[in-house]
Structure 1
Amino acid sequence: MRSQWRLAGALIAGALLVTGCGGGSGGGDQSSAGGKANLTFWDWDPNMDKVVAIWNDAHPDIHVTLSNPAGGDQLVSKMITAHHAGNGPDIAKVEYQSLPALVAGQEVADITQYTGDAVKDFDDNTLKATKFQGKVYGVPQDVAPLLLFYRTDLFQQYGLKVPTTWDEFAQTAQDLHTKAPTVSLTNFDAADPGWITGLMQQAGADWWSADGDKWKVDINSAASKKVASYWEGLVKAGTIAKNPSFSPEWNKQMNEGQVAAWISGAWAPAQFSGIAPNTKGKWAAAPLPAWTAGDKTTGIWGGSATTVTTDSKHPAQAAQFAAWLNTDAKAVAAQIQNINVYPAATSGRSLPVLSSPPPFLPNQTDYYGLVKQVAPSSRSFSMWGPDVTVTFGAYTDKFGAALQNNTAFGAALDDMQNATVADMKKQGFTVG
């Protein structure tokens, strides 16, 4: 999934690097998978309980208790807090962009010794998301290329064609606004940075790079500003909504047909039942519009790994579960059926279950075929920086303010750049 992934933490100066990459597998029992173990698993996937139940039925000596304390960045924050208090979970779902900082901070463990067989089921590009300095810090769960999800009934009602370029997308938004002023083509999400980074990636942006121990931060690059300017134009034209995805207002708009499309990751079908339960069977997916006609490049929103924390007293058993969850045919098939993941494991991409559409998209029988088609052309940043949380926090602050105050999105990118650079220098990084 991440074609040129490198560990940002590998360039972290001095002790931070040493402790982050040499933290081992926790301070507790590091024996083999024998003996009774009770494990806690933090994960936000809907219906993951059904998958965990399969494990518990087959493994009476290793019981996994599932908990959903938060999702995405909030879960990472809770992991860090719990680690400092000495009461973190055994296993946790972590988005790929958050993993380098957790490795450097010793919140997640090196599980290389437990995953020798499991890692053979992943291609090199996918495994690079979780393998740093030759050590494995998580088992990849899924890949999540950006797609365009759209309401087939609304597109038909208003005579709209599915846009294949961003120019066509802007025109479609205007056409819909003219025909139905109360319906927006989509929304601008100032609350979830993963959404905007995917769009920036598609346009060719690379927010971080490094040469030796010297970093370059390029958040406000020409590619990024092109994307920002495009979306600012849609917002100012009044053709898209401003409510962030997953907000109560946006959920209501989605459910009542006031938003006709959603740019989201391949995991989106699992979310529709909670967002817009009245719209089952009315959605379809298409490739993300291109900046240049015919270009198949897309970005990524999310994608995660199953990690073992350094707080676990049973790292071998926890790693056994993480490997099973993402490589066992029955486990992967259950995730596809219940969570709509597109599996990271190469063997999982040939499972018969992928020939059936997600339950919420029953009319799109080729859904997983579409994901398989676009996944090889998805790109991430070539590397993630060591202070992603600061960058992401600046996004929600600055772009949220820009929406509210009707100020320039380009200036918001400049503010993100400045905040990120200042934080990195404060931490002792050389930025030039």
Structure 2
Amino acid sequence: MAMRGRTSHVRRFTIGAVALALTAVTACGGGDGDDGSNGAAASSCEPASGKVTLDYWSWVPGMQEAVDLWNSENPDIQVKLKTTPSGNAGTYQNLSNALKAGKAPDLGQIEYDSLASFRLKEGLRDISACPGVSEAGSEFVDWTWSQVEFGADGEDGVWAVPQDTGPMALFYRKDVYDKLGLKAPTTWEEYAEQARTVKKAGKYITHYSQTDPNWFTGLLWQNKATMFERDGDTWAVTVDRPESRKVADYWQELIDDKLVATDLQGFSPALYKAWNTGEVVTWISAAWGYSTIRDNAKATDGKWAVAPMPQWNAGEKQAGNWGGSTTAVLGKTEHPAEASKFALWLNTDPEALEILNREGGLYPAAAAGLELPALKQPVDFYGGQKVFDVFAEASANVDTGFTWGPTMTDTYRFLSDGTAGVIAGKTTLGDVLKDTGAQSADSLRKQSLEVTGG
């Protein structure tokens, strides 16, 4: 997200038709909620009469420190944290299983793009009637609050509290680049040329992971390759489109020419070792990625730098977005008032925001969080560079027309499964786009949505 001083840019960053996407989910109808929509209705949200213990699942590094701070100040509402894998690496499947078994936690970290999927599973609680929630919208950057309100102007409730965003840029080993006589690439063509230079030096320019389909989605996003479109009550599945094919063909060539490491999964010990040894020298990632490298490649302290994403056309300034999460109150919680109180505190309290930025690398969704001193200071690990200036510019250059589908967890699974075949040499990324489009269309039809394309 942009700095507070650039709020005009931030507030136009609405991710296009996301609100429409979530409204369409409501149109599915059914569910057990008292309001006739999927998820648990906010028919009441009365505080408990005694002490409460809440279970919370999150993958943010340093989250325990924030939870400990809360627990020290709130003896009657204690939070038990379970540290989990990142969403598509395991947490979402585990949450789905727990919901089916009636053993889900009170709160869970869920990315914006996956909220609708959990709504369809009746996995979220409408917390709009809980104390302080309806008034909290003004404390967050506009577009993030609109993503947790399903329906125009919040008429269909509030289903989570915004936490962070993920504008993307290029992390690169400046020491390696300097040694090879390279500068941060400005175009994807230049990046591919650098990949060949880096390979001759016995290194890989980056890795291509099977387990990060939302990373690939961020690359599509940069090229304005929206995966879904909506016209009234009808969904068009546009996963396989010329803009997407351009991105897929580019990366397929890098894979075919063995210019990227394909045996490394995201957020894995093997990848961290490759960063530490200099085997892999760049990572196209989100603002939160600065702490991922910092905490897992300590041997490279002071050797990294951050630059804008390479562009498809010289002179452009387009950026993608990867991730960005919410703190969601899950549908079967017995303590929605206490859960929503903790979720609001976690994502608005200055001390909590500072902890989550310092330890977890989160780029806050709260307006006050954009004033954190750390976001305006040089970062020692990155050679004293003010890295968040790069991400502030990136957030102002993300296409606002990108549309999430209402079953993104399915779409991501299709992408991930297909990518496994690409890595094995059995298919191509272009074919994966085609197959994912068809499978995603079937997924929407199973939810009784009107669908074209795919």
TM-score (norm 2): 0.89
Structure-1 separation of matches of 2:206 and 2:61: 24
Moved more, 381-390 or 149-158: 381-390
Which residue in the other structure is 1:98 paired with?
Answer: 114
1:150, 1:283 within 8 Å by CA — same for their partners in 2?
A: yes
- 2:419 corresponds in structure 1 to 399
Q: What is the aligned partner in structure 1 of residue 191 from structure 2?
A: 169
CA distance in 1: counterparts of 2:218 and 2:197, whole angstroms: 26
Matched, 1:108 2:124: yes
CA distance in 2, matches of 1:22, 1:41: 19
Matched, 1:310 2:325: no
Deviation for aligned residue 1:382: 3.2
The aligned runs of 1:28-427 (5 Å cut-off) are 30-32=45-47, 35-73=50-88, 74-114=90-130, 115-133=133-151, 134=154, 135-178=157-200, 180=201, 182-242=202-262, 243-358=264-379, 360-361=381-382, 363-379=383-399, 382-405=402-425, 407-427=427-447
Q: Confirm or deny: 8 A CA contact 1:141 1:306 kept in the other structure.
A: yes
> How big is the shift at 1:62?
1.1
Change (3 A) 1:418 1:253: same
Indicate how the Cα distance of structure 1 residues 14 and 352 shifts in structure 2: closer, same or farther if over 3 A, else same.
closer
Change (3 A) 1:214 1:314: same
In 2, Cα distance between the equivalents of 1:22 and 1:410?
A: 36
8 Å CA contact retained: 1:91, 1:309: yes
Give the Cα–Cα distance (whole angstroms) in 2 for the partners of residues 382 and 371 of structure 1: 19
Give 1:355 deviation, angstroms. Answer: 2.6
> Is this contact kept in 2: 1:220–1:414, CA < 8 A?
yes
Deviation for aligned residue 1:138: 1.0
- Aligned partner of 2:3 in structure 1 is none
Aligned equivalents of 1:11 and 1:235: distance in 2? 37
Residues 40 and 332 in structure 2, CA contact (< 8 A), matched pair in contact too: no
Q: Give the paired residue count.
A: 427
In structure 1, distance between residues paired with 2:397 and 2:346: 26
Conserved? CA contact 1:56–1:62, under 8 Å: yes
What CA distance in whole angstroms lies between the structure 1 residues aligned with 2:283 and 2:174? 12
- Name structure 2 gaps, 5 residues minimum: 1-12
Cα RMSD after superposing both structures: 2.1
- Cα displacement (A) at 1:324: 0.7
The alpha-carbon distance between structure 1 residues 56 and 144, as it changes in their structure 2 partners (threshold 3 A), is: same
Between 221-230 and 15-24, report the one with greater CA deviation.
15-24
- 1:118 offset after TM fit, Å? 2.2
Check the 8 A contact 2:39/2:120 in 1, yes or no: no
* 1:349-396 deviation per Cα after TM superposition (whole angstroms, max 9, x unaligned): 0122323345643x2341122222221212366332122222111111
Deviations 1:1-21 (A, max 9, x none): 543222534324342596544
SS of corresponding position for 1:271 = helix
8 Å CA contact retained: 1:355, 1:365: no
* Matches of 2:447 and 2:144, distance apart in 1: 29
CA shift for structure 1 position 401: 0.5
Partners of 1:360 and 1:31 in 2: CA distance:
46
SS in 2 for 1:427: coil
Q: Distance in 2 between matches of 1:294 and 1:33?
A: 57
Following superposition, the deviation at residue 173 of structure 1 comes to 1.2
SS in 2 for 1:204: coil
SS state of the match for residue 117, structure 1? helix
* CA deviation string 1:261-287 (max 9, x = no partner): 011111112212453232222211111
- Percent identity for Structure 1 against Structure 2: 35
| Unmatched segments (≥5 aa) in structure 1 | none
